[in-house]
Amino acid sequence: MGVAILVTVGGSGVLAFIAWWLTTYRHPASEQIVSVYLFTVGCLHIHILEEYLAGFAPAMSRLFQMPAFTESLFLISFAFVGISLWILAAIGLIYQNPLANYVAWFMFIGPGFMEITHYIFPLLEGGSYHYFPGMWTAWLPMLPGLYGMFLISLGRFPAACCVK
């Protein structure tokens, strides 16, 4: 899919692995984080819809010379396979599966941190600052993602976000 996708998604994966290893690998957060996690997933899905409707894949292909990053590949990777895995990971969180906690870290770091790139991409295109596909809703998964990173890193889970 290209270096830009590798850096953002792969970078999120590496950061998530480090955070997971240092925190919830041995002491899974389990069901305490499911609500914030699923809210982040839902917000990300809305964001992915904007990206698709606004032509994110073609824009990325032009910006980073990635002819293989098509709308079809974007939909399969992020809208279908990604969302399915993220929803299945919520079940794993309920059952205190350590791998599901890694996926939670990945979800919180990716949208919580890496979605900021939507505001950087217009600068890379040159010219005046302008709309880049996904820019309007990038903040939707960023806010709960950052909150989720904060909660899961401290091991503090307010009662309002717990599944009973």
Give the tens place of pLDDT for each residue, 131-141: 999 999 999 99
2 within 8 A of 77, measured Cβ to Cβ? no
User: For the whole model, what pTM was predicted?
Assistant: 0.87
The distance of Cα 80 from the centroid of its chain, to the nearest Å, equals 14
3-class state of residue 155 by DSSP: coil
The reported pLDDT for the residue numbered 78 is 85
123 within 8 A of 115, measured Cβ to Cβ? no
The reported pLDDT for the residue numbered 128 is 92
Query: Residues of the chain with pLDDT > 90: what percent?
Result: 54
The reported pLDDT for the residue numbered 69 is 82
Tens of pLDDT, residues 20-69:
999 888 888 867 789 999 999 999 999 999 999 999 999 989 988 888 88
The distance of Cα 102 from the centroid of its chain, to the nearest Å, equals 12
Buried b (16+ CB within 10 A) or exposed e, 98-121: eebbbbbbbbbbbbbbbbebbeeb
The reported pLDDT for the residue numbered 155 is 62
Q: Which two tokens stand for residue 50?
A: 């904007």
